[in-house]
Amino acid sequence: MTEIALIGNPNSGKTSLFNLLTGTSQRVGNWPGVTVERKSGNVKKLKEISVQDLPGIYSMSPYSPEEKVARDYLLSNHADSILNVVDATNLERNLYLTTQLIETGIPVTIALNMSDVLKNQGKSINSDKLAYQMGVPVVATSALKNTGVDKAVKKASQTTKGSVDSIQYPTYDAKFEAAIAQIIEVLGQTVPERSSRFYAIKLFERDRLVEEELDLSPFQKKEIKDIIQITEEVFTEDSESIVINQRYAFIERVSQMAQSQDNDFKMSASDKIDKIVTNRVLALPIFAVVMFLVYYLSIQTVGTMGTDWVNDVLFGKYVPEFVTGVLEALKVQAWLQSLIIDGVVAGVGTVLGFLPQIFVLFICLGILEDIGYMSRIAFVMDRIFRRFGLSGKSFIPMLISTGCGVPGIMASRTIENERDRRITIMTTTFMPCSAKLSVIALIAGAFFPHNPWIAPSAYFMGMIAIILSGIALKKTSFLGGYTSPFIMELPSYHLPKVDAVLRYAFGKAMSFVKRAGTIIFSLTVLIWFMSSYNFTLHSVDTENSILASLGRLLAWIFTPLGFGNWKATVAALTGLAAKETVVATFGILYNNPDATETTHSLWVSLQGDYTALAAYSFLTFNLLCAPCFASIGAIKREMGNLKWTLVAIAYQTGLAYLVSLIIYQLGLVAFYGKPVTLWTGLALVLLLVMLYFIIRKPRQVKEKVITLDNLSLSHN
Q: What angle do CA 164, 169, 171 make, to 5 degrees?
A: 155
116 labeled part of a ligand binding site: yes
Q: Which of 466-470, 546-550, 665-669 has the highest mean pLDDT?
A: 665-669
Residue 64, pLDDT score = 66
The average pLDDT across 340-349 equals: 70
- Residue 17 located in a structural domain: yes
As for how many domains the chain has, the answer is 2
15 labeled part of a ligand binding site: yes
Contact 317, 596 (CB under 8 A): no
pLDDT in tens, 165-221: 788 888 889 999 999 999 999 988 888 888 889 999 999 988 888 888 888 888 988
pLDDT in tens, 91-120: 888 999 999 999 888 899 999 988 777 777
**pLDDT value at 707 more than 50:** no
Residue 266, pLDDT score = 61
485 labeled part of a ligand binding site: no
pLDDT in tens, 427-439: 888 888 877 888 8
d(CA 602, CA 426): 33
Q: Average pLDDT over the chain, rounded to whole?
A: 80
d(CA 108, CA 155): 10
Residue 124, pLDDT score = 84
Same domain, 148 and 287: no
- Residue 651 located in a structural domain: yes
Same domain, 287 and 154: no
12 labeled part of a ligand binding site: yes
Q: Greater confidence, 357 or 679?
A: 679
Domain containing 123 equals 2-158
Among residues of the chain, what percentage have pLDDT more than 70?
Answer: 86
Same domain, 151 and 297: no
Domain boundary among 133, 158, 183: 158
CATH, residue 81: 3.40.50.300
pLDDT in tens, 579-610: 877 887 887 787 643 333 333 677 888 888 88
pTM value is 0.63
Phi then psi dihedrals of residue 610, to 5 deg = -135, 150
Lowest mean pLDDT segment, chosen from 41-50, 167-176, 391-400:
391-400
- Residue 321 located in a structural domain: yes
Amino acid, single-letter form, for residue 393: K
d(CA 192, CA 201): 14
pLDDT in tens, 409-461: 877 776 767 788 888 888 888 888 877 888 888 888 888 888 888 888 888 89
**pLDDT value at 265 more than 60:** no
Residue 28, pLDDT score = 45
310 labeled part of a ligand binding site: no
35 labeled part of a ligand binding site: yes
36 labeled part of a ligand binding site: yes
d(CA 425, CA 413): 9
- Residue 592 located in a structural domain: yes
pLDDT in tens, 632-646: 888 888 888 888 899
**pLDDT value at 32 more than 60:** no
Same domain, 437 and 295: yes
Q: Greater confidence, 267 or 399?
A: 399
13 labeled part of a ligand binding site: yes
709 labeled part of a ligand binding site: no
622 labeled part of a ligand binding site: no
Domain boundary among 158, 175, 198: 158
pLDDT in tens, 682-704: 989 989 998 888 888 766 544 44
33 labeled part of a ligand binding site: yes
**pLDDT value at 614 more than 60:** yes
405 labeled part of a ligand binding site: no
pLDDT band at 74 (very low <50, low <70, confident <90, very high): confident
- Residue 428 located in a structural domain: yes
Among residues of the chain, what percentage have pLDDT more than 90?
Answer: 12
Phi then psi dihedrals of residue 178, to 5 deg = -65, -40
**pLDDT value at 163 more than 90:** no
Provide CB contacts within 8 A for 218, sequence distance 6+.
Answer: none
- Residue 163 located in a structural domain: no
Residue 607, pLDDT score = 84
**pLDDT value at 2 more than 50:** yes
Continuous segment of H or E residues that includes residue 256: helix 239-258
What is residue 71's three-state secondary structure?
A: helix
Residue 262, pLDDT score = 59
**pLDDT value at 57 more than 60:** yes
Residue 29, pLDDT score = 44
pLDDT in tens, 502-537: 887 888 788 777 766 666 677 777 877 888 878 888
307 labeled part of a ligand binding site: no
Residue 29's nearest CA partner among 360, 383, 506, 375 is: 375
497 labeled part of a ligand binding site: no
- Residue 669 located in a structural domain: yes
pLDDT band at 14 (very low <50, low <70, confident <90, very high): confident
d(CA 487, CA 263): 31
Residue 547, pLDDT score = 84
Listing DSSP states for 209-220 in one string gives HHHHHS---HHH
- Residue 548 located in a structural domain: yes
278 labeled part of a ligand binding site: no
Strand-strand pairing, 49-53 and 39-42: antiparallel
pLDDT band at 373 (very low <50, low <70, confident <90, very high): confident
10 labeled part of a ligand binding site: yes
The average pLDDT across 269-285 equals: 82
Amino acid, single-letter form, for residue 435: A
**pLDDT value at 618 more than 90:** yes
324 labeled part of a ligand binding site: no
55 labeled part of a ligand binding site: yes
